[in-house]
Amino acid sequence: MAVVETEIDARCPAERPAAFMLYARAFAGLFLRDLHVLRREMPAFLVRVVMNPLLFLFVFTYIMPHMSGGAAMNPTASMAGAAGANFSTVLLPGLMAVAIMFSGIAAVALPLAQEFGVTREIDDRVMCPLPVAAVAVEKIVFSAVQSMIAAGVVFPLAYYMPATPVYAHVDSWVFLIAVLALASLTSGALGLVIGTSVRPQQIGLIFGVVVMPITFLGCVYYPWAALHSIKWLQYAVLINPIVYMSEGLRAALTPGMHMNPWLIIAMLTCSLAVLTWFGVRGFLRRVID
């Protein structure tokens, strides 16, 4: 593989456009192949995306507000003062962020666990006329597509199901699209890091000890500013990329109490760059080994 890439780098400048077109076609071929597989498995994908937010919404934003004496148990009342909005409004961007994160990680880490397994199915992918690093990038890009679909599926559930009204509007579509794109790519990059750093037998364990904690500490069910009374935790969670996904979607869809939008974009971009670098390095190491 290293010999092939050395030969490509040694090509004369006149041959580089042709090589670029070859790479582009190979990249598109891998992407379309994955898209075909996703279309075939769409029912299972939708069930995986919908089940967790559907149950959470049904219990906390539909059942509890309808229960007798629900004011004492309803998160809506307790969150209203802290967030400046009811719990359903706070939850809308948070659940979209969770859908993006889970879909992105699952779309990369779980397939890699199989491809790096005994069958070594990854060898079929890296034999295509494409640099090995570009194969890893294709996985991130394709996972981002799945994450965006997941966010689109969760949005109507989180908007229409709650018993209390959800107040959402978009001030800047450019900002919303930028947050969605960066969040989706970042979740795929995190999935690549997990999938290349953990043995296939430990993937299930990682979801329990890594993915779940970063979700509950990712400002999904509360805005970041609401942590002001726990200063050490408020600053500790800033290393968590899902914080910026939740806050970014909160700033785009439910303007009110949220982080500075420029800080959100900057931190998502930084998270994407760092995770992609570690993920691609891990991918190259696993393929060569």
pLDDT in the model for residue 275 = 95
Question: Which one is predicted more confidently, 42 or 14?
Answer: 42
pLDDT in the model for residue 172 = 87
Question: Which one is predicted more confidently, 51 or 276?
Answer: 276
Q: What is the pLDDT averaged over residues 227-241?
A: 90
pLDDT over 90 at 106, yes or no: no
Report in angstroms the alpha-carbon separations of 211 from 55, 98, 105, 153, 218. Answer: 19, 10, 9, 21, 10
Q: What is the pLDDT averaged over residues 105-120?
A: 78
Could you give the dihedral angle defined by the CA atoms of residues 239, 243, 249 and 252, in that order, rounded to the nearest 10 degrees? -60
Percent of the chain whose predicted confidence (pLDDT) is above 90: 25
List CB contacts of 206: < 8 A, sequence separation 6 or more: 109, 194, 198
Which of 183, 197, 195 has the alpha carbon at shortest distance from 243? 183
What value does the mean pLDDT of the chain take? Answer: 80
List CB contacts of 143: < 8 A, sequence separation 6 or more: 103, 104, 107, 108, 184, 187, 188, 191
pLDDT over 80 at 142, yes or no: yes
Extents of the domains making up the chain: 2-288
171-212 pLDDT per residue, tens:
889 999 999 999 999 999 999 999 888 877 777 777 777 778
pLDDT in the model for residue 213 = 84
pLDDT in the model for residue 1 = 44
Could you give the dihedral angle defined by the CA atoms of residues 123, 203, 270 and 158, in that order, rounded to the nearest 10 degrees? 120
pLDDT in the model for residue 72 = 41
Q: What is the pLDDT averaged over residues 225-232?
A: 88
pLDDT in the model for residue 163 = 77
40: left (phi over 0), alpha (psi -120 to 50) or beta: alpha
> Which of 8-12, 116-120, 273-277 shows the lowest per-residue confidence on average (mean pLDDT)?
8-12
> Which of 68-77, 116-125, 129-138 shows the lowest per-residue confidence on average (mean pLDDT)?
68-77
Instruction: With cut-offs at 50, 70 and 90, classify the pLDDT of residue 13.
Output: low
- For residues 70 and 174, the answer to whether their CB atoms sit within 8 Å is no
Q: What is the pLDDT averaged over residues 68-89?
A: 53
Q: What is the pLDDT averaged over residues 152-158?
A: 88
Instruction: With cut-offs at 50, 70 and 90, classify the pLDDT of residue 279.
Output: very high
